[in-house]
Amino acid sequence: MELFFKLKGKIKEKEVLEPWEMNIIDENAEYLGVKRIQLMENAGRAVYEEVKDFDGKVFIFCGTGNNGGDGFVVARFLGRGEVILLGKESEIKSYEARENYKILKNLSLFGSIKVREIKSAKEIEDVFQALREGKSLVIDAMLGTGQRGKLKEPYKSVVEELNKIKRENKELYIVSVDVQTGNLESDLTVTFHKRKSINKGKVVVKDIGIPKEAEYIVGYGDVRALKLVRGEHKGKNGKVLIVGGSKDYYGAPILAGLSALKVSDLVGIFSVDHVIRKVNYPELITYSVEGNYLCLKHLDYLLEVVKKYDVVVLGNGLGVNEETKEFVNSLIEKLNKVVIDADAIKLIDYENFKFKEGYVFTPHKKEFEYIKFELDELKSTILLKGKIDIIFNNESIKINKTGNVFLTKGGTGDILAGLVGGLLTKNSPFLSASAGAFIVGYAGDLLLKERSIYTPMEVIEKIPEVFKIFGV
């Protein structure tokens, strides 16, 4: 952890977050033990504190996600007003939001709070009319940081109508919860933890109890943030080429390839004859060249093959010699997306090497000593494997604590490199490295609960179960 704190002190802390980054932090706060229902309570209370002295009519527009759950809490603290749920109770997505909605329904029996469920904006013409007349407060808890693209109905029509009314009635005051829904013209946004890049106009940032550590831990949120496409044509989830192996090592590129197959549609292995003869998996596409080690004479053919793939995983079982060193340094400068592992890390000429954004290094402690870099220029991502993994570049740093002693066995590093390569076809280098480390470690932890010892192949077979657990 000493290295983590040393690096963390040199990396500038982000003051503004992208919505997807905040989603990860929310999830990872729960991974650290901070219950989501408590955060929802704190968020609703924070908004209440900003609007509690308003003396006009109150309308709270809520979506079916956690942003809506925050709105339910605001309504409870206010103890008055009309709550409009854009959807049905059965469509509320999370346990926390459902529990807070049940409370509102109970409170509505006493008449101070009204609750309505709508499918269409036409169902609340009376609300819109009331907003045109006199002093009114609208709480926008419709959509949060997870909103994407153009608004769908009934959100689109509700936002359009609210914007229209706001131009007509200067006594209408709109407060958004965390972020505005679409292009809603809010007077104030009460956002949580840190400002978001999509926040507009007047913004107040409220602390709702998310620990700072949630920004630096790899957890559930990183896995759920991954982009993976299920059930579509081959190639949609990317294509990975494993470049490695030698007369001395044949298992490493095979393990990397099988791991990559768990998230990619097509995986190839480019290696010498000795390795390719050992590939007894029809799912893996093979490219064979003569010789004991990959060297410069193989480069032209390899570069033609590389054109068919999105990501290269380089170094597994490659071997260390002068010919291979020339091969690695001539190849790597021509690649834009590559996972650099094992022997390739040792062979790079760092004095003449340019760290590209699409590069991910996956060294263990000894291999890490070979990498020479200045942190402020480190556009590449480094995943330093250890008892606690450290993932960093010049803008971000995290630690991963999943995994156990059996993941130090030969082959598990190759599995990690292959998985990160597969994720890299559709995701950022930093997220691919972070989530990859978590997934492999979590797979090992699941296996350790089942048996006292396990093999690298069993780790590969456990990867789909990890995705299923986290709904990816």
Distance, CA of 444 to CA of 433 (rounded, Å): 17
Percentage of the chain lying above the pLDDT 90 cut = 94
Residue 205, beta-bridge partner list: 191
Q: What angle do CA 88, 93, 99 make, to 5 degrees?
A: 85
Write out the two tokens for 29. 């706060």
Length of the chain as a residue count: 472
Output the CA–CA distances (angstroms, integers) from residue 52 to 46, 62, 74, 109, in the order listed.
Answer: 10, 18, 9, 22
Task: Quote the pLDDT of residue 130.
Answer: 96
Contact (CB, 8 A) for 48 and 74: yes
pLDDT in tens, 343-372: 999 999 999 999 999 999 999 999 999 999
Which of 353, 292, 369, 300 minimizes the C-alpha distance to 323? 292
Place 232 in a pLDDT band, splitting at 50, 70 and 90.
low
Say if residue 231's pLDDT is above 60. no
Task: Quote the pLDDT of residue 235.
Answer: 64
Say if residue 230's pLDDT is above 80. no
- 258 CA to centre of own chain: 23
Helices (H), 333-428: 343-347, 365-368, 412-424
Place 427 in a pLDDT band, splitting at 50, 70 and 90.
very high
Task: Quote the pLDDT of residue 307.
Answer: 97
Which of 463, 85, 471, 88 minimizes the C-alpha distance to 264? 463
Contact (CB, 8 A) for 378 and 10: no
Least trusted range by pLDDT, from 231-240, 428-437, 460-469: 231-240
Contact (CB, 8 A) for 113 and 107: yes
Distance, CA of 250 to CA of 306 (rounded, Å): 20
Helices (H), 407-455: 412-424, 429-450
Contact (CB, 8 A) for 176 and 186: yes
Place 228 in a pLDDT band, splitting at 50, 70 and 90.
confident
Mean of pLDDT values over 56-83: 97
